[in-house]
Amino acid sequence: RGKKAFIAGVADDQGFGWAIAKCLAEAGAEISLGVWVPALNIFETSFRRGKFDESRRLSNGSLMEFAHIYPMDAVFDTMDDVPADVKDNKRYAGNEGWTVSECAAKVAKDWGKIDILVHSLANGPEVQKPLLETSRRGYLAAMSASSYSFVSLLQRFGPLMNEGGAVISLTYVAADRVIPGYGGGMSSAKAALESDTKVLAYEAGRKYSVRVNTISAGPLGSRAAKAIGFIDDMIRYSYENAPIQKELAATEVGAVATFLCSPLASAVTGQTVYVDNGLSIMGLAG
Ligand code: NAI
């Protein structure tokens, strides 16, 4: 039977989440998505109007389908966490059951057990500010959306996972080395995510017999990355200085994600796997 994958953090066909969905679909998996609530309407409209059809095309000619598309906001665990201004916001008011716990309950009801859980989301409202100028609120928001969201997802979806399942997230080298421009506490959030990958690999490995890894990806001109501002410079820098001098394709990350979620990687857990054309090994610009 095909494996079932729930992917949180897809809102267009440009980012890593979409590419992972596509590679998993190529490998025979069924896919459901968790889409950020404020982005859901435009995603569904674009989807219906065929805007993604070209990117949905699989190698056998068919179009990638999604079993379910759920609204989700990964900074809220239960409805009790949601402040009134969000509840009343018109982009949220039309949707229901989008906190992490409610979303997991819907997946359990509609779909039963899953095999693969993908966290491909991040948000840092002050990402353009140096850490030295970041507010407490901005820092904690980055941690909440980009790090705790992963703990929360695994907490709520772990019980739905079949033994032998796999969980992955996306991280960035700024966790480990200084990347000027990646501010607002986003570097801190990625450091937490990488450390949590180890602790959660241990805990969820023992509790659910699932593996937990994170992919440290090279620069990609996704919507989120464009919001940071320096992505074109990063892509150029990587092209000039990485061992492999080519632009990173999102599908190269999708392929490694598919490997990590497959039985080929049955002994790999708790790891940060770099998929960055090798840029991270360089000590000096080449
Ligand atoms: P993206 O824009 O395709 O994906 C980010 C997604 O997060 C969006 O779909 C957005 O709607 C969603 N999101 C934001 N806040 C959310 C929330 N509270 N609840 C639910 N969803 C929320 O961009 P990209 O770049 O593909 O990002 C995916 C992951 O890859 C992120 O973790 C990012 O940090 C990581 N990454 C990206 C790199 C890049 O150069 N683009 C490099 C290394 C890692």
Domain ranges in the chain are 4-276
Q: What confidence score (pLDDT) does residue 227 get?
A: 87
Contact of 193 with 143, CB cutoff 8 Å: no
Tokens of 248: 């990173």
- Which residue has the least CA distance to atom 34 on ligand 1? 122
Task: With CA atoms as reference, report the closest residue to 3 among 280, 262, 285.
Answer: 262
- Which listed residue (182, 208, 237, 239) is catalytic? 182
- What is the ipTM score, two decimals? 0.99
Measured between alpha carbons, how far is residue 63 from residues 7, 59, 209 in Å? Answer: 18, 9, 33
CA of 156 to the centre of ligand 1 (A): 20
CA of 36 to the centre of ligand 1 (A): 10
Q: What confidence score (pLDDT) does residue 242 get?
A: 98
Q: Which residues of the chain have pLDDT under 50?
A: none
Rounded distance, CA 150 to CA 153, Å? 5
Q: What confidence score (pLDDT) does residue 262 get?
A: 98
- Which residue has the least CA distance to atom 35 on ligand 1? 170
Rounded distance, CA 236 to CA 33, Å? 31
Backbone angles phi, psi at 216, to 5 degrees: -90, 105
Closest ligand 1 atom to 250 CA: 26
Residues 6+ apart with CB under 8 A from 116: 3, 4, 5, 6, 24, 29, 165, 166, 167, 168, 261
Rounded to 5°, angle at Cα 143 from 141 and 146: 100
Q: What confidence score (pLDDT) does residue 286 get?
A: 78
Residues with CB under 6 A from ligand 1: 9-11, 14-17, 36, 39, 72-75, 120-123, 145, 170-172, 217, 219-220, 222-225
- The amino acid occupying position 236 is R
- Which residue has the least CA distance to atom 8 on ligand 1? 9
Does the active-site annotation cover 182? yes
CA of 43 to the centre of ligand 1 (A): 15
Q: What confidence score (pLDDT) does residue 285 get?
A: 83
- The separation between CA 97 and the C-alpha centre of its own chain, rounded to angstroms, equals 20
CA of 127 to the centre of ligand 1 (A): 13
Convert the pLDDT of each residue in 110-141 to its tens digit.
999 999 999 999 999 999 999 999 999 999 99
Q: What confidence score (pLDDT) does residue 168 get?
A: 98
Q: What is the DSSP letter of 63?
A: B
**Ligand 1 pocket test: which of 7, 18, 222 has the largest number of ligand atoms within 8 Å of its C-beta?**
222
Q: What confidence score (pLDDT) does residue 250 get?
A: 98
Report DSSP letters for 206-254, one per residue: HHH--EEEEEEE-----HHHHHHS-HHHHHHHHHHHSSS-SPPPHHHHH
CA of 142 to the centre of ligand 1 (A): 12
Rounded distance, CA 199 to CA 122, Å? 20
Contact of 52 with 75, CB cutoff 8 Å: no
Torsion of CA 224, 83, 71, 256, to 10 degrees: 40
Q: What confidence score (pLDDT) does residue 183 get?
A: 97
Rounded distance, CA 16 to CA 217, Å? 9
- Which listed residue (92, 139, 148, 172) is catalytic? 172
Measured between alpha carbons, how far is residue 43 from residues 54, 191, 201 in Å? Answer: 15, 30, 32
Q: What confidence score (pLDDT) does residue 177 get?
A: 97
Task: With CA atoms as reference, report the closest residue to 8 among 207, 176, 195, 156.
Answer: 156
Does the active-site annotation cover 148? no
Match domain 4-276 to its CATH number in 3.40.50.300, 3.40.50.10860, 3.20.10.10, 3.40.50.720.
3.40.50.720
